[in-house]
Protein backbone atom coordinates (compact mmCIF):
# COMPACT_ATOMS: atom_id res chain seq x y z
CA UNK A 1 0.00 0.00 0.00
CA UNK A 2 1.67 3.21 -1.11
CA UNK A 3 -0.83 5.76 0.22
CA UNK A 4 -4.09 5.64 2.15
CA UNK A 5 -6.56 8.25 3.35
CA UNK A 6 -9.20 7.64 6.00
CA UNK A 7 -11.66 9.94 7.72
CA UNK A 8 -12.62 8.55 11.11
CA UNK A 9 -16.38 9.06 11.34
CA UNK A 10 -17.43 5.90 13.16
CA UNK A 11 -16.19 3.09 15.36
CA UNK A 12 -15.71 0.91 12.27
CA UNK A 13 -13.41 3.53 10.71
CA UNK A 14 -11.38 3.66 13.92
CA UNK A 15 -11.03 -0.16 13.87
CA UNK A 16 -9.93 -0.02 10.22
CA UNK A 17 -7.26 2.57 11.11
CA UNK A 18 -6.00 0.35 13.94
CA UNK A 19 -5.87 -2.64 11.56
CA UNK A 20 -3.91 -0.67 8.96
CA UNK A 21 -1.39 0.47 11.57
CA UNK A 22 -1.07 -3.04 12.99
CA UNK A 23 -0.36 -4.44 9.50
CA UNK A 24 1.99 -1.67 8.39
CA UNK A 25 5.66 -2.60 8.01
CA UNK A 26 8.30 -1.07 10.27
CA UNK A 27 9.46 2.46 9.36
CA UNK A 28 6.08 3.33 7.82
CA UNK A 29 5.17 6.98 8.26
CA UNK A 30 1.70 7.74 9.68
CA UNK A 31 0.29 11.27 9.60
CA UNK A 32 -2.68 12.38 11.70
CA UNK A 33 -4.24 15.80 11.09
CA UNK A 34 -6.98 17.70 12.82
CA UNK A 35 -9.96 18.87 10.73
CA UNK A 36 -9.40 22.21 8.98
CA UNK A 37 -12.95 23.43 9.64
CA UNK A 38 -15.30 23.20 12.58
CA UNK A 39 -18.58 21.36 12.19
CA UNK A 40 -20.45 24.69 12.08
CA UNK A 41 -18.20 26.03 9.32
CA UNK A 42 -18.57 22.80 7.34
CA UNK A 43 -22.38 22.94 7.69
CA UNK A 44 -22.41 26.54 6.48
CA UNK A 45 -20.28 25.66 3.45
CA UNK A 46 -22.55 22.70 2.63
CA UNK A 47 -25.59 24.98 2.85
CA UNK A 48 -23.95 27.55 0.54
CA UNK A 49 -23.14 24.79 -1.98
CA UNK A 50 -26.77 23.64 -1.83
CA UNK A 51 -28.01 27.18 -2.49
CA UNK A 52 -25.51 27.66 -5.31
CA UNK A 53 -26.74 24.45 -6.96
CA UNK A 54 -30.31 25.82 -6.98
CA UNK A 55 -29.33 28.97 -8.88
CA UNK A 56 -29.96 28.53 -12.56
CA UNK A 57 -27.88 30.18 -15.33
CA UNK A 58 -30.56 32.78 -16.16
CA UNK A 59 -30.31 34.25 -12.64
CA UNK A 60 -33.53 32.68 -11.33
CA UNK A 61 -33.87 30.01 -8.74
CA UNK A 62 -36.83 27.93 -7.66
CA UNK A 63 -37.62 28.07 -3.96
CA UNK A 64 -37.98 24.44 -2.81
CA UNK A 65 -40.53 25.33 -0.11
CA UNK A 66 -42.92 27.55 -2.10
CA UNK A 67 -42.11 26.38 -5.66
CA UNK A 68 -42.01 30.05 -6.72
CA UNK A 69 -39.29 31.58 -8.85
CA UNK A 70 -37.14 34.07 -7.04
CA UNK A 71 -34.30 36.34 -7.99
CA UNK A 72 -31.36 36.68 -5.69
CA UNK A 73 -32.77 40.01 -4.46
CA UNK A 74 -36.29 38.85 -3.65
CA UNK A 75 -39.42 37.28 -5.08
CA UNK A 76 -41.05 38.18 -8.36
DSSP for 14-73, written as a single string:
HHHHHHHHHHSPTT--------SS-HHHHHHHHHHHHHHHHB-TTS-EE-TTT--EEETT
Overall average pLDDT of the 68-76 stretch: 53
User: pLDDT: is 38 or 67 the higher one?
Assistant: 38
pLDDT per position as a tens digit, 39-64: 888 888 888 777 776 666 555 655 56
Question: What gap in Å lies between CA 2 and CA 55, rounded to an integer?
Answer: 41
pLDDT for 76 equals 46
User: pLDDT: is 7 or 67 the higher one?
Assistant: 7
Overall average pLDDT of the 25-41 stretch: 85
* Nearby residues of 1 by Cβ (< 8 Å), 6 or more positions away: 20
**Spacing of C-alpha 75 from chain mean position:** 30
Amino acid sequence: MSRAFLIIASAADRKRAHAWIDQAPWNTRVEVKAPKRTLAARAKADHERYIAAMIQPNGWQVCARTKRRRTLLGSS
